[in-house]
């Protein structure tokens, strides 16, 4: 039974499958970099969108920008999912690639 304004089970499954496929793409990208002699440190963040400043504060609170190494690269990927009542779920996948020193 579909309740007005809420996604039905097939829509939720489609969102989940899309998110999982996106995670696999990111994983494969990381594995390619790791095989090129780089170490990877990263994680996903999930939050409800309120404004840009709040999103940026959440990223800064992870202190990933405090990692200071030569030849360091950042990888950032963002996905947003819309839900009823103007709710937006924001997924931020952030990582740093660091040259393997050993």
> Which residues constitute the domain of residue 17?
9-99
2, part of any domain = no
Tell whether 85 is covered by a domain. yes
Position 4 scores a pLDDT of 54
Rounded Cα gap, residues 91 and 46, in angstroms: 5
How far apart are alpha carbons 42 and 90 in whole angstroms? 17
- Looking at residue 53, what is its pLDDT? 94
How many domains does the chain divide into?
A: 1
Can you tell me the distance from the alpha carbon of 100 to that of 102, in angstroms, rounded to the nearest whole number? 6
Answer yes or no: are the C-beta atoms of 91 and 78 closer than 8 Å. Answer: yes
Structure pTM?
Answer: 0.63
Question: Would 1 be classed as within a structural domain?
Answer: no
Residue 84 inside a domain? The answer is yes
Inside any domain, residue 3: no
* Domain assignment present for 53: yes
Tell whether 28 is covered by a domain. Answer: yes
In a domain, 58, yes or no: yes
Q: The tokens of 22 are what?
A: 């996106």
- The model's confidence at residue 26, banded by pLDDT at 50, 70 and 90, is confident
In CATH, what number is assigned to the domain containing residue 92?
Answer: 3.30.300
End-to-end CA distance of the chain: 58
């Amino acid at each position: 039974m579909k309740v007005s304004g809420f996604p039905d089970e097939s829509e939720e499954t489609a969102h989940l499958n899309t998110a999982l496929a996106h995670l696999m793409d990111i994983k494969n990208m990381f594995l390619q970099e790791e095989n090129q002699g780089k170490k990877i440190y990263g994680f996903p963040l999930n939050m409800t969108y309120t404004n840009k400043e709040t999103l940026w504060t959440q990223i800064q609170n992870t202190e990933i920008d405090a990692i200071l190494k030569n030849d360091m690269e950042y990888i950032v990927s963002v996905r947003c999912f819309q839900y009823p009542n103007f709710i937006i779920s924001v997924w931020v996948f952030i990582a740093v690639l660091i040259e393997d020193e050993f």
